[in-house]
Every structure is written in structure tokens, then in C-alpha cells.
Amino acid sequence: MKAEIGIIGGSGFYSLLENAESSDIETEYGKPSDRVSVGKIGGRDVAFIPRHGSKHTIPPHMVPYRANIEALHMLGVNRIIATGAVGSLNPEFRIGEIVLLDQFVNLTYGRKDTFYDADQVAHVSTADPYCDEMRAVAARSAEALELECREKASVLVVNGPRFSTKAESRFFSRQGFDLINMTQYPEVALARERCICYIGIAMVTDYDAGIVGVGGPDPVSYGEVTRTFAKSVESVKALAKRIVVDLPSARGCRCGSALDSALAKA
């Protein structure tokens, strides 16, 4: 099986693919979160991996991020569309909105976050971690679908699986972060190490605990997140499908040269 575009997201995205076939893939970093499905969208070969497994049994800190990215790399993927739920740390980012990420801040710990931890050292730049070309295409695709979509946001990535205390949330909000999530890192950084373009499409499912006092509802609960996600998923699926169709066949960004000056020389 081969694919040019990868999608990482929830199990609801299986229905995107036409004539999908699933297979087990073993990488040198272990198995990915689940079987990898490869099918067609608009005539293009697309691979899909459910980040938390098909039955959502893998918590954020246990996701096999390296195996997921490596499996897509082995299939020939050079662009990834990644979807996920986020909480709002900024009242301007409202529940139900779709947001295209452009920056992250990492506060996770203990995660395997590089492919270069033996024999070779790489210092890959993540100054601009998300592909500008893909984000521009996504913005145009959202406009064509008449979807409300913000084109930029910073996301704070925490380890999870617990949600923040109010004190933590207020602190994060005061730092100027827009959104909070548990899975963007190291996924986006690993994609950069494999020279794969990556776009993060976020669904705002809740207001984080610390901004409840400025207009949000009760502190976030998993039930609230899943209910809001269910309402938004069809719009995000439509957007992902449109992005696949709208992407130019050749990449016009710099993601493919991410390793050009990153590898340390002996």
C-alpha cells in the first residue's frame, strides 16, 4: 500500500475513505495506534490512523507517536492532516469553532519526541512548526465550504490525561496561549523530522477551567468534550476532504528540506 496524504484523527474519520483497505504495519518504533487504512479521496491515495485507537483506548501520554508518524512515512506520505479537540484559554475562541494551528508550546514530559536519539543527532527547526502552504489551502477550503474557521492560534500542549486545575488554567491563559490540547506534541515535531508537511485542525470543544469566570460554562468534563466533538466532526470531516482535493500535487513549501542543515556532523 502507498499513500501521499495521511490523516490522523478520531474513528469517525474512517468514513472519509473510499475503497479502504486496512493492514497491520510494524515499524522499528513498534506498532501504530491501530491498523492503518488506505483508500481514496477525490482520486488521491490517503492513509488514516486513529490516534487513540479505533475504540479510544490509548490515553494521550501513551499514544505511540513515533510509530504513527513512521508508519505514514513508510507508506510514502508527505503531508499530514491532523485533527483533534482543544479547550479554549481565550474567550475569543468560542466553543464549536474550527481553528488552524500555527504555533505550539510544549509542557509534556516523558514522551519519545525524536527519531534521532541514537547514532545521529538532529536539531530540527520548529520555529514555524505547521506547514504554511497547507494552512493557506485549508483556509481557502473552509471559506469555500462556508465554515467558520480561524486561521491562526497558539496551542499549549499538556501531558494529560487529567484536565487542568483552575489555577493552572488561569496561569496558561495569562501567558497568552489561545488553546490547550494533549496530543499535538510530539506529533507535529516528529512529522518535521521526517520532512512531512503537517497541519493541525482543532475543534474547540470547551472553555478551560480557568476562564469559567469570564463567560464560560462549568469546568470542562469529558462528557462535554465528546458531545461538542460529535457536533463538529462532520464539518471537520468535510474540511479535511476538501483540503485533500484542493492541495496542489507538488509541494511548494520548505517542509521537505527540514533536515538540510539540522543533522550534527561528527
What does residue 163 show for φ and ψ, rounded to 5 degrees? -85, 165
Q: What is the pLDDT of residue 15?
A: 75
Of all residues in the chain, the percent with pLDDT exceeding 90 is 76
* Tens digit of each residue's pLDDT (9 = 90 or more) over 90-117: 989 988 899 999 999 999 999 999 999 9
| Model confidence pLDDT, tens digit, residues 229-238 | 666 788 999 9
Residue-level pLDDT at 261: 87
Say yes or no to pLDDT of 228 above 80.
no
The better pLDDT of the pair 251, 264 is held by: 251
The model's pLDDT over 54-66, given as tens digits with 9 standing for 90+, comes to 998 999 999 999 9
Q: What integer is the mean pLDDT of 19-38?
A: 96
Once rounded to an integer, what is the mean pLDDT over residues 196-211?
88
Domains of the chain and CATH, by start: 5-257 (3.40.50.1580)
Give the strand pairing for 79-88 and 36-41.
Answer: unpaired
Contacts of 208 (CB under 8 A, 6+ apart): 87, 88, 89, 163, 164, 169, 172, 173, 180, 216, 220
- Alpha carbon distance 70, 195 (integer Å): 11
pTM value surpassing 0.85: yes
138-148 pLDDT tens trace: 999 999 999 98
Residues that are catalytic = 206, 208
Q: Is the pLDDT of residue 214 over 60?
A: no
Does position 14 have pLDDT exceeding 80, yes or no?
no
